[in-house]
Structure 1
Amino acid sequence: MPVVRQDVEPLTFVFADDGLVPNNPMPFLVYKGAIDVANGHPETTIEGVFGANGWGAMWRNGVYDFAHYHATVHEVLGVARGHAKVRFGGDQGEVLEISAGDVAILPAGTGHQCLASSRDFRVVGAYPPGPPMDLQRPTPEKHAKALQTIPQVKLPKTDPVLGADGPLVRLWK
Protein backbone atom coordinates (compact mmCIF):
# COMPACT_ATOMS: atom_id res chain seq x y z
CA MET A 1 0.00 0.00 0.00
CA PRO A 2 1.36 3.46 -0.85
CA VAL A 3 2.42 5.73 1.99
CA VAL A 4 0.68 8.78 0.44
CA ARG A 5 -2.91 8.86 -0.80
CA GLN A 6 -2.52 10.09 -4.38
CA ASP A 7 -6.22 11.02 -4.65
CA VAL A 8 -6.25 13.33 -1.63
CA GLU A 9 -7.49 16.89 -2.24
CA PRO A 10 -6.82 19.56 0.37
CA LEU A 11 -9.38 21.54 2.28
CA THR A 12 -8.64 25.21 1.59
CA PHE A 13 -9.08 28.24 3.85
CA VAL A 14 -8.21 31.88 3.24
CA PHE A 15 -7.83 33.93 6.40
CA ALA A 16 -8.09 37.72 6.43
CA ASP A 17 -5.44 39.91 8.01
CA ASP A 18 -6.87 40.66 11.48
CA GLY A 19 -4.53 43.56 12.26
CA LEU A 20 -2.22 41.43 14.43
CA VAL A 21 -1.86 38.18 12.48
CA PRO A 22 -1.18 39.04 8.83
CA ASN A 23 -2.15 35.65 7.37
CA ASN A 24 -1.77 35.33 3.60
CA PRO A 25 -4.01 35.72 0.53
CA MET A 26 -2.84 32.26 -0.61
CA PRO A 27 -4.91 29.42 0.85
CA PHE A 28 -4.00 27.45 3.95
CA LEU A 29 -4.27 23.77 2.98
CA VAL A 30 -5.24 20.72 5.05
CA TYR A 31 -4.91 17.19 3.72
CA LYS A 32 -7.01 14.83 5.89
CA GLY A 33 -5.53 11.34 6.18
CA ALA A 34 -2.95 12.03 3.48
CA ILE A 35 -0.09 9.93 4.87
CA ASP A 36 -0.37 6.36 6.15
CA VAL A 37 1.25 6.53 9.60
CA ALA A 38 -0.06 3.16 10.85
CA ASN A 39 3.43 1.80 11.45
CA GLY A 40 6.07 1.80 14.18
CA HIS A 41 7.88 4.86 12.82
CA PRO A 42 5.33 7.52 11.75
CA GLU A 43 7.74 10.45 12.20
CA THR A 44 10.27 8.82 9.88
CA THR A 45 7.50 8.09 7.36
CA ILE A 46 6.43 11.76 7.26
CA GLU A 47 10.04 12.96 7.08
CA GLY A 48 10.55 10.66 4.09
CA VAL A 49 7.55 12.10 2.26
CA PHE A 50 8.50 15.74 2.94
CA GLY A 51 12.17 15.14 2.10
CA ALA A 52 11.35 13.34 -1.15
CA ASN A 53 9.36 16.44 -2.17
CA GLY A 54 12.15 18.91 -1.43
CA TRP A 55 11.01 20.22 1.98
CA GLY A 56 13.66 20.14 4.73
CA ALA A 57 14.93 21.79 7.94
CA MET A 58 12.68 19.28 9.70
CA TRP A 59 11.82 19.08 13.37
CA ARG A 60 9.66 16.94 15.68
CA ASN A 61 7.52 18.40 18.46
CA GLY A 62 3.96 19.68 18.94
CA VAL A 63 2.43 23.04 18.08
CA TYR A 64 3.04 25.93 20.49
CA ASP A 65 0.16 26.83 22.78
CA PHE A 66 0.51 30.54 22.01
CA ALA A 67 -0.52 32.36 18.83
CA HIS A 68 2.36 32.78 16.40
CA TYR A 69 3.25 32.88 12.72
CA HIS A 70 6.28 32.81 10.44
CA ALA A 71 6.86 35.88 8.26
CA THR A 72 9.87 34.66 6.25
CA VAL A 73 8.92 31.10 5.31
CA HIS A 74 6.06 28.73 4.49
CA GLU A 75 5.61 25.72 6.82
CA VAL A 76 4.19 22.20 6.63
CA LEU A 77 2.98 20.26 9.68
CA GLY A 78 2.50 16.50 9.41
CA VAL A 79 0.71 14.84 12.33
CA ALA A 80 2.59 11.67 13.24
CA ARG A 81 0.71 10.69 16.40
CA GLY A 82 -2.37 11.68 18.36
CA HIS A 83 -4.69 14.58 17.69
CA ALA A 84 -5.14 18.25 18.58
CA LYS A 85 -7.45 21.24 18.29
CA VAL A 86 -5.45 23.98 16.60
CA ARG A 87 -6.61 27.49 15.80
CA PHE A 88 -5.34 28.55 12.40
CA GLY A 89 -5.60 32.12 11.10
CA GLY A 90 -5.53 34.00 14.41
CA ASP A 91 -8.43 34.85 16.70
CA GLN A 92 -10.78 35.29 13.71
CA GLY A 93 -9.61 32.03 12.06
CA GLU A 94 -10.80 28.43 12.31
CA VAL A 95 -10.34 25.82 15.03
CA LEU A 96 -9.60 22.49 13.37
CA GLU A 97 -9.14 19.00 14.76
CA ILE A 98 -6.02 17.51 13.20
CA SER A 99 -4.98 13.93 13.75
CA ALA A 100 -2.42 11.31 12.79
CA GLY A 101 -1.93 11.22 9.02
CA ASP A 102 -3.18 14.78 8.44
CA VAL A 103 -0.97 17.45 6.88
CA ALA A 104 -1.43 21.23 7.21
CA ILE A 105 0.42 23.60 4.86
CA LEU A 106 0.69 27.18 6.08
CA PRO A 107 1.63 29.98 3.72
CA ALA A 108 3.91 32.54 5.37
CA GLY A 109 2.04 34.70 7.89
CA THR A 110 -0.63 32.13 8.79
CA GLY A 111 -1.35 32.22 12.51
CA HIS A 112 -1.45 28.97 14.47
CA GLN A 113 -1.93 27.98 18.10
CA CYS A 114 -2.58 24.62 19.79
CA LEU A 115 -5.64 24.87 22.05
CA ALA A 116 -5.74 21.24 23.26
CA SER A 117 -4.03 17.97 22.35
CA SER A 118 -3.80 14.31 23.23
CA ARG A 119 -0.82 13.36 25.39
CA ASP A 120 0.83 11.57 22.45
CA PHE A 121 0.36 14.43 19.94
CA ARG A 122 3.47 14.64 17.77
CA VAL A 123 4.11 16.71 14.65
CA VAL A 124 6.85 16.75 12.02
CA GLY A 125 7.43 20.25 10.68
CA ALA A 126 9.39 21.24 7.57
CA TYR A 127 10.06 24.15 5.24
CA PRO A 128 10.78 24.61 1.54
CA PRO A 129 14.30 25.76 0.60
CA GLY A 130 14.90 29.36 1.64
CA PRO A 131 15.57 31.47 4.71
CA PRO A 132 15.39 29.97 8.19
CA MET A 133 12.15 29.90 10.16
CA ASP A 134 11.33 32.99 12.20
CA LEU A 135 8.89 32.94 15.10
CA GLN A 136 6.61 35.95 15.46
CA ARG A 137 4.04 36.59 18.17
CA PRO A 138 1.20 38.90 17.13
CA THR A 139 1.99 42.56 17.94
CA PRO A 140 1.28 45.72 15.91
CA GLU A 141 5.03 46.27 15.35
CA LYS A 142 5.70 42.72 14.14
CA HIS A 143 2.58 42.84 11.98
CA ALA A 144 3.81 45.99 10.18
CA LYS A 145 7.19 44.37 9.50
CA ALA A 146 5.60 41.08 8.37
CA LEU A 147 3.53 42.92 5.76
CA GLN A 148 6.86 43.83 4.14
CA THR A 149 8.49 40.38 4.32
CA ILE A 150 5.59 38.02 3.50
CA PRO A 151 5.16 39.12 -0.15
CA GLN A 152 8.89 38.44 -0.70
CA VAL A 153 8.70 34.77 0.41
CA LYS A 154 9.32 32.61 -2.66
CA LEU A 155 6.72 30.11 -3.77
CA PRO A 156 7.75 26.49 -3.19
CA LYS A 157 8.46 24.49 -6.34
CA THR A 158 6.73 21.42 -4.90
CA ASP A 159 3.82 20.36 -2.72
CA PRO A 160 5.34 18.65 0.38
CA VAL A 161 2.88 15.75 0.07
CA LEU A 162 2.28 15.28 -3.67
CA GLY A 163 5.37 16.82 -5.27
CA ALA A 164 5.73 18.95 -8.38
CA ASP A 165 2.21 18.22 -9.63
CA GLY A 166 0.50 18.60 -6.24
CA PRO A 167 -2.40 20.93 -5.48
CA LEU A 168 -0.20 23.52 -3.71
CA VAL A 169 1.61 24.24 -6.99
CA ARG A 170 -1.65 25.18 -8.75
CA LEU A 171 -3.40 26.81 -5.74
CA TRP A 172 -0.58 29.10 -4.60
CA LYS A 173 0.01 31.90 -7.11
Structure 2
Amino acid sequence: MNATGGSRLALGRERHETATGGVEVDVKAGDVIVVPAGVSHRSLSAYGDYRYIGVYPEAAPKWRNNYCRGNEDMETLREEIAGVDIPQHDPVYGLDGPLVDIWNEASRQNKL
Protein backbone atom coordinates (compact mmCIF):
# COMPACT_ATOMS: atom_id res chain seq x y z
CA MET A 1 0.00 0.00 0.00
CA ASN A 2 1.34 3.42 -0.90
CA ALA A 3 -0.69 6.00 0.97
CA THR A 4 -0.37 9.76 0.90
CA GLY A 5 -2.40 12.55 2.43
CA GLY A 6 -3.24 13.22 6.02
CA SER A 7 -5.87 13.99 8.61
CA ARG A 8 -6.68 16.28 11.51
CA LEU A 9 -7.50 14.17 14.57
CA ALA A 10 -9.33 15.08 17.76
CA LEU A 11 -7.89 13.25 20.79
CA GLY A 12 -9.33 13.24 24.29
CA ARG A 13 -12.43 15.21 23.41
CA GLU A 14 -15.47 15.20 25.66
CA ARG A 15 -18.35 12.82 25.08
CA HIS A 16 -20.62 14.99 22.91
CA GLU A 17 -20.02 15.60 19.21
CA THR A 18 -19.89 19.41 19.44
CA ALA A 19 -17.26 19.45 22.21
CA THR A 20 -14.08 21.44 21.67
CA GLY A 21 -11.91 19.98 24.47
CA GLY A 22 -8.92 17.68 24.08
CA VAL A 23 -6.27 18.35 21.46
CA GLU A 24 -6.24 18.44 17.69
CA VAL A 25 -3.29 16.85 15.92
CA ASP A 26 -2.31 16.84 12.25
CA VAL A 27 -1.00 13.49 10.97
CA LYS A 28 0.29 12.42 7.58
CA ALA A 29 1.25 9.19 5.86
CA GLY A 30 4.00 7.46 7.85
CA ASP A 31 3.10 8.98 11.23
CA VAL A 32 2.40 6.71 14.19
CA ILE A 33 0.31 7.62 17.22
CA VAL A 34 -0.47 5.48 20.24
CA VAL A 35 -3.83 6.15 21.88
CA PRO A 36 -4.24 4.68 25.39
CA ALA A 37 -7.38 2.71 26.18
CA GLY A 38 -10.30 5.00 26.95
CA VAL A 39 -9.03 8.08 25.12
CA SER A 40 -11.60 9.28 22.62
CA HIS A 41 -10.29 9.83 19.11
CA ARG A 42 -11.74 10.69 15.72
CA SER A 43 -10.80 12.19 12.38
CA LEU A 44 -12.12 15.72 11.87
CA SER A 45 -10.97 16.06 8.26
CA ALA A 46 -8.78 14.29 5.75
CA TYR A 47 -7.06 15.01 2.46
CA GLY A 48 -5.35 13.00 -0.25
CA ASP A 49 -5.28 9.23 -0.12
CA TYR A 50 -5.53 9.16 3.68
CA ARG A 51 -5.80 5.73 5.30
CA TYR A 52 -5.10 4.51 8.80
CA ILE A 53 -4.41 1.19 10.41
CA GLY A 54 -5.69 0.55 13.92
CA VAL A 55 -3.89 -2.12 15.92
CA TYR A 56 -5.12 -3.25 19.32
CA PRO A 57 -3.46 -5.51 21.92
CA GLU A 58 -4.47 -9.14 21.57
CA ALA A 59 -6.21 -9.26 24.97
CA ALA A 60 -7.96 -5.89 24.54
CA PRO A 61 -11.76 -5.78 24.56
CA LYS A 62 -13.45 -5.71 21.17
CA TRP A 63 -13.20 -2.31 19.51
CA ARG A 64 -16.44 -0.37 19.21
CA ASN A 65 -17.52 3.07 18.25
CA ASN A 66 -20.10 4.90 20.32
CA TYR A 67 -19.73 8.27 18.50
CA CYS A 68 -19.62 10.09 21.86
CA ARG A 69 -23.32 9.54 22.33
CA GLY A 70 -22.98 8.66 26.01
CA ASN A 71 -25.42 5.78 25.72
CA GLU A 72 -23.13 3.31 27.49
CA ASP A 73 -22.94 2.53 31.19
CA MET A 74 -19.87 4.63 32.05
CA GLU A 75 -18.94 2.65 35.17
CA THR A 76 -18.85 -0.60 33.19
CA LEU A 77 -16.83 1.14 30.48
CA ARG A 78 -14.33 2.52 33.07
CA GLU A 79 -13.85 -0.98 34.50
CA GLU A 80 -13.26 -2.40 31.03
CA ILE A 81 -10.72 0.33 30.22
CA ALA A 82 -8.90 -0.21 33.52
CA GLY A 83 -8.61 -3.92 32.67
CA VAL A 84 -6.65 -3.31 29.46
CA ASP A 85 -3.06 -4.34 30.08
CA ILE A 86 -0.18 -1.95 29.50
CA PRO A 87 1.74 -3.15 26.42
CA GLN A 88 4.78 -5.35 27.05
CA HIS A 89 6.84 -3.48 24.47
CA ASP A 90 6.79 -0.28 22.44
CA PRO A 91 5.00 -0.99 19.13
CA VAL A 92 7.36 1.37 17.26
CA TYR A 93 10.73 1.03 19.03
CA GLY A 94 10.41 -2.50 20.42
CA LEU A 95 11.58 -3.77 23.81
CA ASP A 96 13.82 -0.78 24.55
CA GLY A 97 11.32 1.86 23.44
CA PRO A 98 9.95 4.49 25.82
CA LEU A 99 6.22 3.73 25.58
CA VAL A 100 5.97 1.15 28.39
CA ASP A 101 7.81 3.38 30.90
CA ILE A 102 5.70 6.42 29.94
CA TRP A 103 2.48 4.42 30.18
CA ASN A 104 3.41 2.88 33.54
CA GLU A 105 4.26 6.31 34.99
CA ALA A 106 0.98 7.79 33.74
CA SER A 107 -0.90 4.85 35.22
CA ARG A 108 0.78 5.33 38.62
CA GLN A 109 -0.03 9.06 38.60
CA ASN A 110 -3.68 8.42 37.74
CA LYS A 111 -4.03 6.05 40.70
CA LEU A 112 -2.76 8.61 43.25
TM-score normalised by length of structure 2:
0.75
Runs of 4+ with >6 A deviation = none
Kindly indicate whether structure 1 or structure 2 has the higher relative contact order, using CA contacts under 8 Å at least 6 residues apart: 1
Residues matched between the structures, number: 96
User: What is the aligned counterpart of 2:31 among 92, 102, 113?
Assistant: 102
Tell me which protein shows more strand as a share of its residues. 1
1:84 corresponds to which residue?
7
1:151 corresponds to which residue?
82
Matches of 1:148 and 1:170, distance apart in 2: 22
Identity %: 34
RMSD over aligned Cα atoms: 1.8
User: What is the aligned counterpart of 1:124 among 53, 57, 73?
Assistant: 53
Please, which runs of 5 or more residues in structure 2 have no aligned partner?
Answer: 14-18, 105-112
| Conserved 8 A contact 2:11-2:41 | yes
SS in structure 2 at match of 1:86: strand
TM-score normalised by length of structure 1:
0.51
Shift of 1:153: 0.8
